[in-house]
Chains A and B, each alone.
Chain A
Amino acid sequence: MSQEDPILSDDEDDKRLMALVAEGDDDALRMIVHRHHARLVGYLRGEVGCQATAEELAMEVFIRLHRAANRWRPDAKLSTYLIHIAHNLVLNEWRRRGRKPTTALEFAAEPGDQTHDSARRVTELDEAFQRAIAQLPTEQRTAILLVVQQELPYEDIAGIMGVPVSSVKTWIHRARSRLRDLLKDFYGPA
C-alpha cells in the first residue's frame, strides 16, 4: 500500500482504510495514524498541557480505534470519532488523577521574521493565553479548544461532549468571557 499525502485527507478514503483495518491490515492503520495523529496530539496537548501525556493518550485512542474497527460505522467523520474517543480518555485521565491539569506552558512561540521586542511580546501573550486556557473549567476549555483550535461545528462538539448544542454555545460564551477577564492586563476589562 502506498503512502498518501496527509494533506489529501478524505472521508471516503478513511472509510476504505477502516474497512482494511477491520481485516487486520496494519499498513492501513499506519496510514490512518499518519493522517490524523497530528491534530489529535494537538487537541490532547491543549487539554492536558503535557506533550508526553498527550502522546500516550493519542496512542490509546488509536489502539481503541483498532479494537473497535469491526464495529465502527461511518456515521460520522473519522476525525470527529477520534476526538470523541480522545475526549473520553481525557475525562478518564482527570478522574484518575483526581484533578484537572493546571498548566499548559510547553508551547514555544516562533518569532519568525518579527523584531526581537515584537517576538518577545508574542511569546508573552501566547504563554498568557495558554495559562488562561488551562485555568478554564473543564467543559469550557474543551468547548473552546474544539471550536477555535480544531474548528469543529457546534453540532459535532455537542456530539463529542454528549450535550445539547445550547450547552456548547453557553460554555464557549463563558470561556471567551473568562479568558477576557484573565487577560485583562493585555486587553483591558471586558
Chain B
Amino acid sequence: MDHLNPQPFEKDLATALSRGREIRVPGFADRVVGAVRLERRRRTVIRWSSVITGAAACVITMLVMRSPSEDSLNRQTVALVAREESNQLTDLLGLADDLSLLTPVVDKKSSIVEVLTTPGS
C-alpha cells in the first residue's frame, strides 16, 4: 500500500471524525417529547399511588391503634382474674372476721362456770 504524506494525518483525522460530527435524525424531537410526556404520566401515577398507599396505611394504623391489642387484652384478663381472686379472698377474710368476732365469746368463761369453779364457793 502506498504511504501517504505524514502531514495530512491530522487533516484526515479531522475529516474522518467531522463526517460524523452531526447526525440529524428526522422526527427525533417529537420522539423525545413523546417519551417525556409518557414519563410525566408515569410519574403522576406513581405519585398518586404513593399518596393513596400512604393514606391507606394511616387509616389502617388508626384502626389498629383504636382496637385493643393482644397485650392490652392480656392485661385486662389478668386484672379481671386478680379482681376475682381478690373478691374471693375478701370473702374469706370476711368470714375470718366473723370468726374472730365470735372467738372472744367462745373463749370467754361464763359467769356461772366461774362461780362454780371458784374454790371455796
Contact = CB atoms under 8 A, between A and B. Distances in A.
Contacts of A144: 17
Interface stretch (B21-29, B79-87, B93-101): B21-29
Given A63-B32, A66-B36, A148-B17, A187 B23 contact: no
Interface of A is mostly: helix
Interface of B is mostly: helix
A155 interface: no
B89 interface: no
Interface string A37-60: 111011001100001001100110
A38 B24 contact: yes
Contacts of B39: 63, 66-67
Contact of A26 (B3, B13, B23, B33): B33
Contacts of B22: 38-39, 41-42
Interface stretch (B4-12, B67-75, B104-112): B4-12
A63 B36 contact: yes
Contacts of A126: 15-16, 19
A188 interface: yes
A103 interface: no
Interface in B45-59: none
A111 B16 CA distance: 13
B28 A63 contact: no
B29 A34 contact: yes
A41 B21 CA distance: 8
Contact of B13 (A58, A110, A148): A148
Contacts of A42: 20-23
Interface residues of A, number: 44
Interface stretch (A70-78, A82-90, A159-167, A178-186): A178-186
A102 to B, nearest CB: 17
B28 A180 contact: no
Contact of A150 (B21, B25, B29): B21
Contacts of A62: 32, 36
Contacts of B9: 179-180, 183, 187
Contact of A107 (B13, B19, B25, B28): B19
A133 B19 contact: no
A170 interface: no
Contacts of A149: 17-18, 20-21
Interface of A: 26, 29-31, 33-34, 37-39, 41-42, 45-46, 51, 54-55, 58-59, 62-63, 66-67, 107, 109-110, 125-126, 129-130, 133, 144-145, 148-150, 176, 179-180, 183, 185-188, 190
Interface of B: 1, 3-6, 9, 12-25, 28-33, 35-37, 39
6 contacts: A34-B28, A66-B39, A129-B17, A179-B9, A183-B9, A187-B9
